[in-house]
Amino acid sequence: RAAAVVVPFDGEGRLADGTPVALLANVGGAADAATAADARAEGIGLFRTEFCFLDRVDAPSVDEQVEAYRGVLAAFPGRRVVVRTLDAGSDKPLPFANADDEDNPALGVRGLRVARRSPGLLDDQLRALALAAEAESALVEVMAPMVATVEEARVFADQARAAGLERVGVMIETPSAALLASEMLEVVDFVSVGTNDLAQYTLAADRLLGELGELNDPWQPAVLRLIGAAGAAGRVWSLPVGVCGEAAADPALAPVLIGLGVSSLSMTPRALGRVAAALAEVTAEQCLTAAEAVLKAATAAEARSAAAEVLGSES
Ligand code: PEP
Ligand code: MG
C-alpha cells in the first residue's frame, strides 16, 4: 500500500453548512503537542499523561509532573486541552502504579481504578495539573479513564474540583459508562468516547490481537449504538461529547459520529486534514441521516455501506 498522503488542515473543522466541529489532537507529551500545533489542531482532545512516565519505576513527583504538563499546555495557549489522568495498566502498565500479577489486566485495576488502591497518585496528579494550568494560564479540562459507574465519576469529579480544576469529564470506554452516559453527565461537564477500549469491551475482543481486528471495529453496530447512546445523552444535557479513539480518524466514520451527537473529534495530528475534508463535504442533516441509517444496521459491513450510501463516500 502506498504511504497515505497527509492532507493539510486549515485549523477550523466545519461541515458544508458551516456547523463547527472541533478537530483536536491526541498527544503523549510536549514533542507531540508541538507536532499537533504545527498541524493546526484546534486544541488537544486527549493528552495521555501515562506516556510521560512509561519508563519510570517510581512515581513522578508533583514538580516533575508540573514540568511535563506545562510543556503540553504551552503549545496551545488559550485553547482547549483535555488532560487524561493516568491510564495505567493493561496495555500501558506503569511499574509504580500496577500490580504485575493480574490474570486479566484489561479487566483489572487499571485507569481510574488505580486511584482507589493508591489515592496519593491521583491527588498528586490533580495538584500538579492545577499548578501547571495556573502557571500557563491555561483552561485545562481533566478526564478520567476506565470509568464504569456513576459513583466513580462523582468521586473523581469531586476530587478534581476540590483540586481547583473546574472542567471535569470522564471517558466512555466501557459499555456500562455508555449506557449510563446521561447519569454521568449529571455529575461531570463532558464525556469523551474512547472507541478503542469501547470496542474491546463491547465485543469482548483483546484490542492488541490483530487477528480479532474484525471484532475490534468501531463500525460494529453494537459499538455505534453505544456511541449513539452517549451522543443522545449529550444532546439531552446540551453538554459536549467527544470521540478520542481511533474511530475519530476515520474520514468515512467522522460524519456518522457527528450525526450520532458527537461535537468534537480528537485524533493523531496527521489525520486532521483528511477528516476535515470529509466533514466539509456533508451537511449536519446528512450526518443525522447517516447516523439513523447505521443505527439500523445488523453488521459492520451493512453500517459501512449504509453510511456510504447517504454520504456518497467510497468507504
Ligand atoms: C481509547 O480507548 O479509545 C482511548 C482513546 O484510550 P487509549 O487508546 O489510550 O486506551
Ligand atoms: Mg482507552
> CA-CA distances (angstroms) from residue 213 to 13, 131, 219, 265?
29, 41, 11, 22
Q: Which of 307, 268, 314 is nearest to 23 (CA)?
A: 268
**Ligand 1 in contact with 70 (CB < 6 A)?**
no
**Ligand 1 in contact with 267 (CB < 6 A)?**
no
| This model's pTM is above 0.90 | yes
Q: Which ligand is nearest to the CA of 247?
A: 1
Q: What is the pLDDT of residue 101?
A: 87
> CA-CA distances (angstroms) from residue 186 to 117, 150, 157, 171, 260?
26, 9, 11, 14, 20
pLDDT per residue as tens, the chain (315 positions): 556 788 999 999 999 999 999 999 999 999 999 999 999 999 999 999 999 999 899 999 999 999 999 999 999 999 999 999 999 999 888 999 998 889 999 999 999 999 988 999 999 999 999 999 999 999 899 999 999 999 999 999 999 999 999 999 999 999 999 999 999 999 999 999 999 999 999 999 999 999 999 999 999 999 999 999 999 999 999 999 999 999 999 999 999 999 999 999 999 999 999 999 999 999 999 999 999 999 999 999 999 999 999 998 654
Pocket test for ligand 1, best of 52, 197, 246 (most atoms within 8 A of CB): 197
Centre of ligand 2 to C-alpha 309, Å, is 31
- Closest residue by CA, ligand 1 atom 10: 197
Q: Which ligand is nearest to the CA of 223?
A: 1
